[in-house]
Amino acid sequence: MTIAEAAAFFRDGDRFCIVTHRSPDGDTTGCASALCRGLRALGKIAAVLENPQTTPRYAPWLEGLTVPREGAGDTVVTVDVAAETLLPENAEHLTVALAIDHHGSNTGFAQQTLLDPGKAACGEIVFALLQELGAPLDPVSAGALYVAVSTDTGCFQYSNTTANTLRVAAALRDAGVAAAAINRALFGVKSLRRLRLEARLTESTVFWAGGRVAVCVLPLSWREELALTEDDLDALASFPRAIEGVEAGVLLKEKPDGVVKLSLRTGPSINASAVCAHLGGGGHPAAAGASFKAVLGEALELVRAAFAGEGVEV
Amino acid sequence: MTIAEAAAFFRDGDRFCIVTHRSPDGDTTGCASALCRGLRALGKIAAVLENPQTTPRYAPWLEGLTVPREGAGDTVVTVDVAAETLLPENAEHLTVALAIDHHGSNTGFAQQTLLDPGKAACGEIVFALLQELGAPLDPVSAGALYVAVSTDTGCFQYSNTTANTLRVAAALRDAGVAAAAINRALFGVKSLRRLRLEARLTESTVFWAGGRVAVCVLPLSWREELALTEDDLDALASFPRAIEGVEAGVLLKEKPDGVVKLSLRTGPSINASAVCAHLGGGGHPAAAGASFKAVLGEALELVRAAFAGEGVEV
C-alpha cells in the first residue's frame, strides 16, 4: 500500500481503533498518539486501545486517547507491530484492517499493510501519512512523533538514522516540539544509582582475547546494595560492547533461583546468535541472549566454552 | 556581516589562513577543514594553521591542509573563536581579518565578524557560507561539517539543537557522510581510561543546593594515574549535568601552573554565561567556562560565590 492509498483508507473510513505492540516503546506509542490526534482533528472518531504494559515513561502521550477493548472502534489499525504474536493480550483475535510498520520482518498479518523497511522509525511513515491527509500538526502530536523517531534511532545516533529521519525531526521541531526537555528525559540523564553501577562494572570488567571480548558481571546482591530499579538496568547489555576495542560485550546478570541471564552484543566479526545457541539461547547476529542455571563462576566458564565453540579463543 | 557579505569577502580575496581555537574541538576543526577544502575547490589558495593542541580524534580531518606559521597565507580567518585569548600560541599577534563564530560572547576581536549566536555550531554557519559560495560538498567536507554540528550538539541531543541543525545534518548525509562510523567513534565508544575516570568522578561528585548543582573535580594527578589522553577528556564537561535532577553541572579541571578551568553546563533556570562572567569567563546561556589561578579548594569557593552572585544559593 502506498502513502496515498493509506490516506484514502483513512478518508473513506471512520471509528478507528489504533493498537500498539507488546512492551510498548517510544515508536509504537508516539505513532499511536499522533495518528489518533490527527484523525480526531480531521473529524474522525478514533481511539488508542489500552495497552496494559505501557510504562510511565511513555503513558503521558496517550492521555485522553485510550479506550478499553469494549470501547474500541470497528476499524483496527496497528502501528509498529511486526507480527500478530506481538499484539497485546487484549488485542488478540482482533481483525486488523491495516498495519503501518517499518519492520522488514513484518509477517503480513493484517488485511492491508503500509510497510517501509527503509525507515528507521514507524514515526517517519505516520508523519508522511498525516502530511498526506493534511492533518494539522500541533506541538503535542509533533512531540509524540519526535519521541517515536528519536527513541528508535538513539537520538539520531544509531546506524539506521537517515537524512529523512533528520528532516522529519526538523519539521517536528518547527511544529513546536519541546525537544530539549524530551531529549534530556529520554537520553541525557542517568540516575546516580546507574552511574554507581557503571562505576562498579568498569572496575570489575574482565577482558578476554586481548581485549576483543569484555565481560561484565552483575551479582544479585548489587541490586539491593545500590538500590537499583528496573529503569536503572535499561539497555545495560550495551555497556561492555561500548568499551573501545571490544568486539563482543558480555553481560551476565545473576537472577533469583540460581539462574544466570547472558546478554551478548557483537560487531560483525562474531555471531552473537551462534554463541548463545551453545547455551540454549538465540537472537540476532549482533544481539543475542540466553538464560541458564549456574553460579556466576560456572557461568563464566560456560560462556568461555561457547565462544570457543564458535572459534573465538578466549 | 551577513552570509552574502562574507561570501563576497572570500570571492574578493585569496591566500587564506584559517585558524582554529585552543583545545580544538570538533566544531572548530570541522569548520576549518570544510572551509579550507571548499576554498581550494573554488580555486583559492587556502590552508589551516597548525594547532599544536589538535588531538588524534580530530587530526585526520586536517590531513593535507595544515601549514606552520611561516607558511600561512595573508588573510587570516578564524572559525569558532570567541576571543583573541582563545587563539593558539602560534597565532598570537596575527591580525584576524574575519572571525566566523556562533558565540554570543564574541569580543569583536577581528576586523570583521560573521556572527550568528542562534546557531548551535559554527559548522552551521560555514555550511551556509559554502552553499552561498557555490562550493562543491564532497563526502570528506560534508563529514568534517557533520563532525562540527554533531559534536557541538552531543549528536543532536543538547538543548542548543535547532531545526536548522537537523536540516544541515540531513543535507550533509545526502552528500555522502559515513555518519554511522563517525557516530560510533565519537559517541558510541569510550576508552577504558575514560570509563575509569567517570567511575572516579561518580564516586567523588559533590552536590550543592539539594542536588540541583553537581560538582566534579579533576585533579592534575589523575591524568598520570589513569594515563588519560586529551581525547579521554572530550565533552567531559557534560558529565555532571547528566546526573538525574541536576540543573547545573560544574567541572573543575586542575591545569599546570596553578590554573583551574571551570566548565559549566546548565538548564534554563540558570544562566551559565552569567555565572562564569563572575570569574572572568563567558560563553552561552547553557554552556560556559572560565579559567583562573587558584588551588582546587579555593576554586570551589570561587564557584560557590559566582553562583551566589547570580542568585543561586549553593
CA distance linking residue B153 with residue B165, whole number of Å: 9
Q: How many residues does chain A have?
A: 314
Task: Note whether B287 and B270 are within 8 A (CB).
Answer: no
- Is B206 an interface residue toward A (CB < 8 Å)? no
Cα–Cα distance measured from residue A214 to residue B98, given in angstroms and rounded to the nearest whole number:
49
| Cβ within 8 Å, pair B156-A167 | no
What tens digit of pLDDT does each residue of A9-24 get?
999 999 999 999 998 9
> Chain B within 8 Å of A188 (Cβ-Cβ)?
yes
pLDDT, position A193: 96
pLDDT given for residue A282 in this prediction: 86
Q: Among all chains, which residue has been given the C-alpha cell 553460579?
A: A295
Instruction: Look at residue A3 and tell me whether its pLDDT is greater than 90.
Output: yes
Listed in sequence order, the residues at least 6 apart from A201 whose beta carbon sits closer than 8 Å to its beta carbon are A216, A218, A239, A240
Greatest alpha-carbon span in chain B: 59
Check CB contact under 8 Å for A167 and B167.
yes
DSSP B117: T
Q: Look at the block and give the residue holding cell 517517519.
A: A124
Q: What is the pLDDT of residue B88?
A: 95
Cβ contact A167–B162 (<8 Å): no
Q: Does B190 touch chain A (CB under 8 A)?
A: yes
Q: How far apart are the first and last CA of chain B?
A: 41
The answer to whether the predicted template modeling score (pTM) of the entire model surpasses 0.80 is yes
Chain A interface includes B179 (CB < 8 A): yes
Using an 8 Å CB-CB cutoff, list chain B residues near A155: 155-157
Cα–Cα nearest to A303, from A269, A277, A285: A277
Report how far residue B237's alpha carbon sits from residue B215's, in angstroms, rounded to the nearest whole number.
Answer: 10
Judged by CB atoms closer than 8 Å, whether chains meet at A169 and B174 is answered as no
> Which positions in chain B touch A206 (Cβ < 8 Å)?
none
Q: Which of residues 140-169 of B touch A (CB under 8 A)?
A: 154-159, 161-164, 166-167, 169
Interface test with A, best of B153, B166, B167, B198 (most A CBs within 10 A): B166
For the stretch A266-295, pLDDT in tens is 988 999 999 999 999 987 788 889 999 999
Q: Are B166 and A161 an interchain contact pair (Cβ–Cβ within 8 Å)? A: no
**pLDDT per residue over B216-257, tens digit each?**
999 999 999 999 998 899 889 999 999 999 999 999 999 999
Assigned C-alpha cell, B51: 594547532
CB pairs under 8 A between A and B: 108
Any residues with CB less than 8 A from the CB of B92 and at least 6 apart, and which?
none
Q: Could you read off the pLDDT of A29-65 as tens digits, one per residue? A: 999 999 999 999 999 999 999 999 998 889 999 999 9
DSSP class of residue A286 equals S
Confidence at residue A188, expressed as pLDDT on a 0 to 100 scale = 86
**Gap between the Cα atoms of A47 and A78, Å rounded:** 12
Torsion of CA A253, A255, A260, A266, to 10 degrees: -30
pLDDT at A268: 86
Q: How far apart are the first and last CA of chain A?
A: 49
Mean pLDDT of chain B: 95
Partners of A265 on chain B (C-beta within 8 Å) are none
Closest partner residue to A199 (CB to CB) among B170, B173, B199 is B199
Q: Which residues of A199-220 are buried (b: 16+ CB within 10 A; e: fewer)?
A: bbbbeebebbeeebbbbbbbee
CB contact under 8 A, A167 and B170: yes
Whole-angstrom distance, CA of residue A213 vs CA of residue A208: 5
Residue A32 backbone dihedrals phi, psi, to 5 degrees: -60, -45
Return the bridge partners of A75, or none: A16
* pLDDT above 70 as % of chain A: 100
pLDDT computed for residue B234 by the predictor: 84
Q: Indicate the DSSP class of residue B91.
A: G
